[in-house]
Amino acid sequence: MTIKIGIVGYGNLGRGVEYAIKNAPDMELMAVFTRRDPCSLRIQTEGVPVVKTANAAEWKDEIDVLILCGGSATDLPTMTPELVKLFNVVDSFDTHAKIPAHFANVDIAAKETGHIGLISVGWDPGLFSLNRLYGSAILPNGKDYTFWGKGVSQGHSDALRKIEGVKNAKQYTVPVESALEKVRSGCNPELSTRDKHTRECFVVLKEGANASAIENEIKTMPNYFADYNTTIYFISEEEFDKNHNSMAHGGFVIRSGKTGENNKHNHIIEYSLKLGSNPEFTTSVLVAYARAAYKMAAEGIKGCKTVLDVPPAYLSEKSGEELRATLL
Amino acid sequence: MTIKIGIVGYGNLGRGVEYAIKNAPDMELMAVFTRRDPCSLRIQTEGVPVVKTANAAEWKDEIDVLILCGGSATDLPTMTPELVKLFNVVDSFDTHAKIPAHFANVDIAAKETGHIGLISVGWDPGLFSLNRLYGSAILPNGKDYTFWGKGVSQGHSDALRKIEGVKNAKQYTVPVESALEKVRSGCNPELSTRDKHTRECFVVLKEGANASAIENEIKTMPNYFADYNTTIYFISEEEFDKNHNSMAHGGFVIRSGKTGENNKHNHIIEYSLKLGSNPEFTTSVLVAYARAAYKMAAEGIKGCKTVLDVPPAYLSEKSGEELRATLL
| Residue in B closest to A13 by C-alpha | B260
Average pLDDT of chain B, as a whole number: 96
Query: Average pLDDT of A85-105?
Result: 96
Residue A208 — pLDDT band, cuts 50, 70, 90?
Answer: very high
ipTM: 0.96
Average pLDDT of chain A, as a whole number: 96
Q: A29 pLDDT exceeds 80?
A: yes
C-alpha to C-alpha distance for A120 and A143, rounded to whole angstroms: 23
Q: Do B312 and A133 touch (CB under 8 A)?
A: yes
Residue A226 — pLDDT band, cuts 50, 70, 90?
Answer: very high
Q: By percentage, how much of chain B surpasses pLDDT 70?
A: 100
| Residue in A closest to B44 by C-alpha | A261
Which among B137, B259, B320 has CB closest to A280?
B259
C-alpha to C-alpha distance for B182 and B172, rounded to whole angstroms: 22
CA A165 to chain B, closest CA, distance in angstroms equals 34
Contact B126, B231 (CB under 8 A): no
C-alpha to C-alpha distance for B135 and B188, rounded to whole angstroms: 14
Where are the alpha helices (H) located in chain A, listed in sequence order?
12-22, 76-83, 99-113, 127-138, 154-161, 177-184, 193-196, 211-219, 237-243, 278-298, 320-326
Q: Report the pLDDT value the prediction gives residue B308, as an integer from 0 to 100.
A: 98
Task: Enumerate residues 6+ apart whose C-beta is below 8 A from A124.
Answer: A94, A146, A148, A251
Residue A190 — pLDDT band, cuts 50, 70, 90?
Answer: very high
For A186: left if phi > 0, alpha if psi spans -120 to 50, otherwise beta; the answer is left
In a mutational test of the A interface, the residue from B267, B291, B310 whose CB has the highest number of chain A CBs within 10 Å is B267
Query: Average pLDDT of A108-130?
Result: 98
Q: Do B276 and A291 touch (CB under 8 A)?
A: no
Looking at this protein, which amino acid is placed at residue B321? E
Q: What is the pTM of this model?
A: 0.96
Q: Do A311 and B315 touch (CB under 8 A)?
A: no
Residue B1 — pLDDT band, cuts 50, 70, 90?
Answer: confident
Q: A1 pLDDT exceeds 80?
A: no
| Residue in A closest to B129 by C-alpha | A328
Q: Do A19 and B260 touch (CB under 8 A)?
A: yes
Question: For the segment B265-313, what is each residue's pLDDT rounded down to a tens digit?
Answer: 999 999 999 999 999 999 999 999 999 999 999 999 999 999 999 999 9
User: Which residues of chain B make contact with A180, given a CB cutoff of 8 A?
Assistant: none
Q: Report the pLDDT value the prediction gives residue A66, as an integer from 0 to 100.
A: 98
Q: Is the dihedral of CA B86, B87, B93, B97 positive or negative?
A: positive
Closest to A159 measured CA to CA, from A75, A223, A107, A112: A223
Q: Which H or E element spans position B295?
A: helix B278-298
Q: B154 pLDDT exceeds 90?
A: no
Which among B136, B274, B327 has CB closest to A316?
B136
Q: Do A312 and B308 touch (CB under 8 A)?
A: yes
Residue A154 — pLDDT band, cuts 50, 70, 90?
Answer: confident
Query: Average pLDDT of A162-170?
Result: 96
| Residue in A closest to B284 by C-alpha | A138
Q: By percentage, how much of chain A surpasses pLDDT 70?
A: 100
Q: A251 pLDDT exceeds 80?
A: yes
